[in-house]
Amino acid sequence: MTQEIHGTVADGFEDVREEFAAFVAGERPDYEGQLCAYLHGRKVVDLWAGTEADALYGVFSSTKGAAYLVVALLVQDGTLELDRKVTYYWPEFAAEGKGALTLRDLLAHRAGVVGTDTGFTLAELADDRQLAERLADQRPFWRPGTAFGYHALVSGALVGEVVRRATGRTLQEVYQERIRTPYALDFHLGLPAPQEPRFRTTQPMAPTPRQQALLDAVPTGPHTLASIAFNGNAAEPTDLASLPNMPLVRAKGPASVGGVASARGLAGMYAAAISELGDRAPLLKPDTVAEFGQFHSVGYDLVARAHKSFGLGFQTTADTWHPFLGAGTIGHSGASGSQAFADPWSGLAYGYTRRRFAFPGGAAPENDRLARAVHRAALAV
């Protein structure tokens, strides 16, 4: 039975609804997902299937976009300086040869501390302060600044500790005060207890036999960089796919992977970053967006073992995922399939969530067709 498509699209975006419906028709009967987009601060796509418009989902690494937006605001304010050493804010980070690393390189995934020699406990993964303490003592896995690799579970904690040292507030508190509350965003770093009934637990991937064979063929081991970066070397490795399902993680909102959002919340945050939203000015000036969207790390990612690229924290979404987007697009995908970005050239902001983990992980494949349809409509209106 095909899922019914709910919601609205603005004039000129009718093809997006058709594309979403065509995709959903080919999915499992239990599919749940949401799609939202803004153009120059105006909501133009608001669709969902198998769920409610205001349902909340764990968005995994799409959380990082909120963390980097906080840093961008503080750089724009002059509270943080990109080319200062991390140790200016956080002296303990100098241990084990990390003293020369700048905030710029920390954001660009060049620190070399993608994990620790012995992994993390669940309590540590849920608590950015505990992660930061462990990482400050860790010897880097490559010489800081000489290469890059995706700091999958720790990037938010690293920049969060810099934010805390510079402001006296946690990154989550700054996000709440300066971004989420003023713009009424349904994207939470720390889900309030009264909102818990809206949360939908993440469902595990359901690969076909061929997809499972491909997953099984990926070379791995507990002490590879990829495994360390995803906590595979811990004494009791965590089922990372279930992290948002854990009340402790939802309550604390760790800034790498612990965010909870609707597609409206994801798209709204990126719309607020680049456009007037309601009666509020954009969060970021064009020069700030340009600097954070500029390529800072590009080439072979030591963790992903593939070509990747990053701006200042943000994925360079036009290179990594959607080549039809404008250069300097900022965004971040999430392991369960979520995707979110802002394209300053077109004025487009996009957010997508789904409940079931998509193969093979990261932004779900359907994002390409959905984002392409939204972008095509945005250019035509």
User: Residue 242 carries which DSSP code?
Assistant: G
Q: 14 CB contacts (<8 Å, ≥6 apart)?
A: none
pLDDT digits (tens, 9 = 90+) for 323-367: 999 999 999 999 999 999 999 999 999 999 999 988 777 788 999
Check residue 306 and give its pLDDT.
Answer: 92
Q: Provide the CA 37 distance to its chain's centre, in angstroms.
A: 17
Report the relative pairing of strands 339-343 and 260-261 from DSSP bridges: unpaired
Structure token pair of residue 61: 């690494």
User: What is the enclosing helix (H) or strand (E) of 22?
Assistant: helix 14-25
Residues making up the chain, counted from first to last: 381
In this predicted structure, the answer to whether residue 222 has a pLDDT above a threshold of 90 is: no
Backbone angles phi, psi at 40, to 5 degrees: 50, 40
For the entire predicted model, the pTM comes to 0.96
Give the mean model confidence (pLDDT) for residues 150-163.
99
In this predicted structure, the answer to whether residue 252 has a pLDDT above a threshold of 90 is: yes
In this predicted structure, the answer to whether residue 167 has a pLDDT above a threshold of 80 is: yes
What residue ranges in 114-228 does DSSP mark as E strands?
Answer: 187-188
- Residue 148 near residue 310 (C-beta atoms within 8 A): yes
Region of 117 please: left (phi>0), alpha (psi -120 to 50) or beta. Answer: alpha
**Which of 61-75, 190-204, 230-244 bottoms out in mean pLDDT, i.e. has the lowest?**
230-244
The C-alpha atoms of residue 380 and residue 62 are separated, in whole angstroms, by 28
User: Residue 95 carries which DSSP code?
Assistant: G
- Residue 106 near residue 159 (C-beta atoms within 8 A): yes
Check residue 318 and give its pLDDT.
Answer: 87
Question: For residue 194, is the peptide bond before it cis, meaning its omega torsion is within 30 degrees of 0?
Answer: no
Q: If you average pLDDT over every residue of the chain, what do you get?
A: 95
CA distances from 364 to 246, 325, 339 (A): 22, 17, 8
Structure token pair of residue 292: 């954070």
In this predicted structure, the answer to whether residue 310 has a pLDDT above a threshold of 70 is: yes
Residue among 186, 135, 118 nearest 353 (CA): 186
